[in-house]
């Protein structure tokens, strides 16, 4: 299945054009982003709903779309659509919202029959001042899961999948090349490894996993952190070209800094991982 580079660009372009920027103080801007996400998801004919809650006397929303909603076995993939302070947030995290929407389109157009359902969740309030607090959209969603009636196979939080930068002269070239990094905790190390292996299976992009101690204070830098306490294996998948994105949380995080050719490969690799999580015919090298 092929991702559309134009679709990815269009979503990032729309989200970064919203002004004032879509941080927690600008509720109208967040609503514009949420409306756009819902509209794009409804084009796929998925079952779409909104999950609302209040923080600092303002109402915020997650947008949730379900593929094969009747399935009790489910996989969650999500991306936050809010930004940190005054910046357009092209990589952090419009790139991941674009990837999420494109994967939902690829799935519904292919009409794949899987023996598990998939929940696509667009989160609000991942960024400070709510990070690590119970007002995070991902905590609201994780807390709402009916664990007793459904079996959650795992969760992927997409984070900054649009910026890449090869460092061909690095002495440690393997760790510097364009890759998708899988970040998780030791409790779910087998899940972490499997996601990384599936991501690089098609040889479109590299991948490696970083597995931290369960109690390491910086082991959950994104929305995946909120699923561990509900015993759902969860990882963050983040793009890198070495040393991270120098535009992180800055006004320079603009659409011009993203590489949509590599991002397309990343999205196709993430889609493959999601759709083949229980494919027993895959043999890893």
pLDDT tens digits, 55-77: 999 999 999 999 999 999 999 99
Distance CA 97, CA 62 (A): 12
pLDDT tens digits, 192-226: 999 999 999 999 999 999 999 998 888 899 999 99
CB–CB of 73/154 below 8 Å? no
CA distances (Å), origin 42, targets 58, 138, 161, 209: 26, 21, 23, 33
Question: What's the predicted TM-score (pTM) here?
Answer: 0.95
* Cα Rg of the chain (Å, integer): 17
Distance CA 174, CA 120 (A): 32
Distance CA 263, CA 151 (A): 31
Distance CA 82, CA 138 (A): 12
Q: Please report the pLDDT score of residue 284 as a whole number.
A: 81
Tokens of 200: 């690089």
- Does the 5-275 domain belong in CATH 3.40.50.720? no
Rounded to an integer, what is the distance from CA 91 to the centroid of its chain?
Answer: 11
Residue 168, pLDDT > 60, answer no
Could you tell me whether strands 234-240 and 151-159 are parallel, antiparallel, or unpaired per DSSP bridges?
parallel
102 Rama sector, left if φ>0, alpha if ψ -120 to 50, beta otherwise: alpha
- CA dihedral sign of residues 9, 10, 13, 16: negative
Residue 130, pLDDT > 90, answer yes
């Amino acid at each position: 299945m092929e991702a559309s580079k134009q679709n990815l660009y269009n979503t990032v372009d729309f989200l970064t054009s919203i002004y004032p920027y879509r941080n927690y103080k600008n509720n109208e801007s967040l609503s514009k982003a949420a409306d756009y996400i819902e509209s794009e998801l409804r084009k796929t004919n998925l079952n779409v709903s909104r999950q609302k809650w209040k923080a600092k006397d303002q109402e915020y929303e997650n947008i949730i779309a379900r593929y094969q909603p009747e399935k009790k076995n489910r996989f969650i993939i999500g991306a936050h659509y809010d930004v940190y302070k005054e910046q357009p947030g092209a990589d952090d995290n419009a790139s991941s919202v674009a990837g999420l929407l494109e994967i939902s389109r690829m799935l519904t157009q292919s009409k794949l029959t899987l023996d598990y359902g998939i929940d696509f969740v667009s989160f609000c309030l991942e960024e400070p001042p709510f990070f690590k607090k119970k007002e995070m959209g991902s905590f609201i969603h994780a807390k709402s899961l009916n664990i007793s009636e459904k079996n959650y196979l795992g969760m992927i939080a997409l984070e900054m999948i649009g910026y890449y930068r090869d460092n061909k002269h690095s002495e440690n070239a393997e760790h510097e090349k364009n890759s998708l990094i899988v970040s998780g905790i030791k409790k779910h190390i087998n899940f972490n490894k499997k996601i990384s292996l599936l991501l690089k299976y098609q040889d479109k992009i590299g991948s490696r996993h970083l597995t931290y101690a369960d109690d390491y204070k910086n082991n959950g830098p994104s929305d995946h952190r909120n699923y561990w306490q509900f015993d759902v294996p969860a990882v963050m998948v983040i793009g890198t070209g070495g040393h991270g994105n120098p535009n992180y949380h800055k006004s320079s995080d603009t659409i011009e800094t993203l590489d949509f050719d590599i991002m397309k490969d990343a999205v196709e690799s993430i889609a493959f991982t999601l759709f083949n999580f229980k494919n027993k015919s895959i043999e890893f090298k």
